[in-house]
Structure 1
Amino acid sequence: MKDITDILKTKTNLPLAKKTVLNVSYTSNTFKDGILSVLKPYDISIEQFNVLRILRGKSGKPSNLKDIQDRMISKMSNTTRLVDKLILKNLVERFICEKNRRKVDIYITDEGLKLLNTLDPIIEQKENELTGNLSQRELETLNILLTKMRN
């Protein structure tokens, strides 16, 4: 039985749409595996990393679970569970808003910011490695095409 890389590398009778979907899915998994390999030694998942980046982007302002969920790459993520795990790791803090007790404010901690500062260059290096077979122009074209596919 051929694996997916053999199927995608050879000329097959697969319809082009199917071949494209398989290729994008396979590449997505390759990217996820690559990023996960970088995050694993830091005991953090891709989704937790995403939450930390979202909170860092708030520049010290509070966020809430709905805002974080809306900005997540994976909309299927359980944001409450992710935040709870990050709290246990002292990477984020959660406070009940004094003005509105139903509102919960979530902040990244200094420890969370330090972790992101450590991870940023390592992630950038991995991203460059994962896309290293493409020229700048090819990367620009690929981004335009992928965005077009989602719209």
Structure 2
Amino acid sequence: MPTIEELIKTKPYKDPRDRALINIIYTGSWLVNRINQVLKPFGISEPQYNVLRILRGQNGNPMNLFEIQSRMVQKMSNVSRLIDKLLEKGLVERNERKENRRMVDIFITEKGLTMLKDVDVPLQKSLKNILENLSKDEAAQLAIWLDKLREE
């Protein structure tokens, strides 16, 4: 397996924290690209998949845009645009609330649930292949370190 220095064609880092930071950024992008390769044949992107998974987890209950945005893996300001694209594909529905037209409820459709079922197997297989490089103990330790990085 090539090192991060080999992958981005740079000299070795003097500070291991700099190397770790670049490696985290590079690996995050690499993971998103791998996920998008699996999702591309289904016509959705990783953020769209994330929205659908969030809605599936609601078991038929609606969510508003703010709630969806707060649960996104990648925090982004264009959640309404993501919802619009999913609406066009028939994967979600949007209902305005009668008491407040600015509040909109978003539901996943049967078509959206079916797509997720179709995506789940190849995506889980791809992610399992990636994670096979780590033991369960290594994965647990990595998760602890990543949580620690986000401490302020």
TM-score (normalised: structure 1): 0.91
Equivalent residue runs for 1:1-151 within 5 Å:
4-6=4-6, 12-151=12-151
CA distance in 2, matches of 1:80, 1:94: 11
CA distance in 2, matches of 1:149, 1:124: 26
1:76 partner amino acid: M
TM-score (normalised: structure 2): 0.90
SS of residue paired to 2:145:
helix
Does the 8 A contact of 2:56 with 2:108 survive in 1?
yes
Q: Which ranges in structure 2 are unaligned for 5 or more consecutive residues?
A: none
Deviation at 1:7, TM superposition (A): 6.7
Deviation at 1:77, TM superposition (A): 4.4
CA distance in 1, matches of 2:110, 2:97: 20
Deviation at 1:14, TM superposition (A): 2.5
CA distance in 1, matches of 2:20, 2:65: 35
Q: Which ranges in structure 1 are unaligned for 5 or more consecutive residues?
A: none
Deviation at 1:26, TM superposition (A): 1.2
SS of residue paired to 2:63:
coil
CA distance in 2, matches of 1:19, 1:90: 44
Inter-CA distance 7–87: structure 2 relative to 1 (3 Å threshold): closer
Q: Which runs of 4+ in 1 moved over 4 A?
A: none
Does the 8 A contact of 2:13 with 2:19 survive in 1?
no
Deviation at 1:47, TM superposition (A): 0.4
| Pairwise CA RMSD | 2.1
Inter-CA distance 7–48: structure 2 relative to 1 (3 Å threshold): closer
CA distance in 2, matches of 1:102, 1:77: 17
SS of residue paired to 2:93:
strand
Inter-CA distance 142–101: structure 2 relative to 1 (3 Å threshold): same
SS of residue paired to 1:58:
coil
Inter-CA distance 58–5: structure 2 relative to 1 (3 Å threshold): same
Give the count of matched residue pairs: 149
SS of residue paired to 1:95:
strand
